[in-house]
Amino acid sequence: MNPFELHIPTRIFFGKNKAEAFFDQLSEYGSKVLLVIGGGSVKRLGYLDEVISELETREITVTLFEGIEPNPLAQTIDKAAELGNRKEVDFVLALGGGSVMDASKAIAGLIHEDEKEIWPFVLGESRYKTMKGALPVVAIPTTAATASEVTAHAVISNKEVKGKAPISYPFMKPSASWLNPAYHTSIPLTATRDGASDIISHVIENYLLGGNDSPLADRYSEGVMETVITTLPKIEESPEDEALRGRLMWASTLALNGMQVAGRKPAPFTLHNLEHALSGYNHELAHGRGLATLYPAYLRWLLKNDRVTDRMALLGSRLFGIEYNDDAAGAMAFIQAFEAWLQENGLYQRLSDVGVPTEAFGDVADYAIKTYGGGKELSAAGPLNREQIIELFEMTENQHAEMEAAE
């Protein structure tokens, strides 16, 4: 085991009937809340009215900010912070998916710091890591995807510079989160699939690149992946089944709460670096969809370069029961089984299918290296330079053709 620190401060309330306990907790954070929502789904579905009613019953004054977009924009966050500042709110409540939760953390930081613009604080910009605190944030996640309800991170987009980059502070971890599976039965199928892809990414990245030193982190991560792999097809059959929704939701929270890496050696979040550059380029691209598009090429690229072959083979045996004598054969069987799962669950496509044409590959690689690689290169169990990133992106195009030819 490698040394680590772990701090999971979020008080988690899981289940529909935990509403009372969750809302009773909130007066600890103050009497004036900025309630942040996305493009209107929670309004249409009635969740917003329920939440406002619970807050008002407890004499918490609500200021509503509506209109956080998927891949939340810096400029929208700035506007919400201005409103929260003017209304002198005590804390921020996020009711929505990862985009709303991330925006809420950033808003809470801006208000606390009495600052007007979030973009200078993101990775790669002049004021990165200079925030001193944030208002308390509490969350009601309406997607199973990002684990933002427990993480320190907020990922911010900026259309003007075609960029997407995180801020991350321990004090941005939500103080309390209510995980209500009933609010997940309405998630559209595409967003459910995108979320499943994201959950897997949060454990598979470090599983592959984080070494062999923490067998318990391996089993923990395999448990998360196995849950997603078996639960998603069942949700496709019964999207309104709260038990299934709850299962996926809990897998999501556990996938990025810090336990998944405890004892591993530090490892980069390479697929995330690449994906953020892709959805920075195309603001309409959902994070989980971008990741799903990269998986097959990324795994095949690793195998081709004989990187973490043993880890892929191990994962294949644990997740899909693949028996193997030789690591390379085991790794290839794993990749094929995982690709088949992606195909069966509507998660298999080319980059050009998701709005990133081949002409853009160089610019996207440059952005990834500039923002996430300190201007030099990324890494994936070894260097991952500009040419290699472009090669990997090109593989998402070609290898799809190979699969079609094989059918």
Interacting residues with ligand NZQ (CB under 6 A): 38-42, 70-71, 96-100, 102, 142-143, 145-148, 151, 153-155, 183-184, 186-188, 191, 194-195, 198, 256, 272, 287-288
Does residue 80 sit in helix, strand or coil? helix
Burial 163-197 (b: 16+ CB within 10 A, else e): bbbbbbbebbbbbbbbbbbbbbebbeeebbbbbbb
Binds 103: which of ligand NZQ, Zn ion, none (CB < 5-8 Å by kind)? none
In the complex, least distance from residue 398 CB atom to Zn ion, rounded to whole angstroms: 25
| Residues paired with residue 379 on neighbouring β-strands, in sequence order | 383
Binds 382: which of Zn ion, ligand NZQ, none (CB < 5-8 Å by kind)? none
In the complex, least distance from residue 98 CB atom to ligand NZQ, rounded to whole angstroms: 3
Does residue 220 sit in helix, strand or coil? helix
Binds 148: which of Zn ion, ligand NZQ, none (CB < 5-8 Å by kind)? ligand NZQ
Question: Exposed/middle/buried for 284, CB within 10 Å: 0-12, 13-18, 19+?
Answer: exposed
194, two tokens: 């995108």
Residue whose CB is less far from ligand NZQ, 155 or 332: 155
Residue whose CB is less far from ligand NZQ, 148 or 177: 148
Binds 84: which of Zn ion, ligand NZQ, none (CB < 5-8 Å by kind)? none
Contact set with Zn ion (CB under 5 A) = 198
| Cβ contact 244:235 at 8 Å | yes
Binds 145: which of ligand NZQ, Zn ion, none (CB < 5-8 Å by kind)? ligand NZQ
- Whole-angstrom distance, CA of residue 167 vs CA of residue 155: 6
In the complex, least distance from residue 315 CB atom to ligand NZQ, rounded to whole angstroms: 20
In the complex, least distance from residue 165 CB atom to ligand NZQ, rounded to whole angstroms: 10
In the complex, least distance from residue 206 CB atom to Zn ion, rounded to whole angstroms: 12
- Whole-angstrom distance, CA of residue 202 vs CA of residue 30: 33
Binds 142: which of Zn ion, ligand NZQ, none (CB < 5-8 Å by kind)? ligand NZQ
Residue whose CB is less far from ligand NZQ, 178 or 331: 178
**68: DSSP letter:** P
Binds 175: which of Zn ion, ligand NZQ, none (CB < 5-8 Å by kind)? none
In the complex, least distance from residue 276 CB atom to ligand NZQ, rounded to whole angstroms: 6
Q: In 10 A of CB 55, how many CB atoms?
A: 18
Residue identified by tokens 């496509």 is 349
127, two tokens: 């004021």
Residue whose CB is less far from Zn ion, 149 or 198: 198
In the complex, least distance from residue 278 CB atom to ligand NZQ, rounded to whole angstroms: 10
Residue nearest to ligand NZQ according to CB distances in the complex: 97
Closest CA relative to residue 94, chosen from 26, 157, 158: 26
| Cβ contact 204:221 at 8 Å | yes
Residue whose CB is less far from ligand NZQ, 39 or 223: 39
Residue nearest to Zn ion according to CB distances in the complex: 198
Q: How many residues does the chain have?
A: 407
Binds 296: which of ligand NZQ, Zn ion, none (CB < 5-8 Å by kind)? none
Alpha helices in 87-188 (DSSP H): 98-113
Q: Is 258 left (phi over 0), alpha (psi -120 to 50) or beta?
A: left
Question: Exposed/middle/buried for 13, CB within 10 Å: 0-12, 13-18, 19+?
Answer: buried
- Whole-angstrom distance, CA of residue 368 vs CA of residue 373: 7
In the complex, least distance from residue 287 CB atom to Zn ion, rounded to whole angstroms: 6
Residue whose CB is less far from Zn ion, 177 or 201: 201
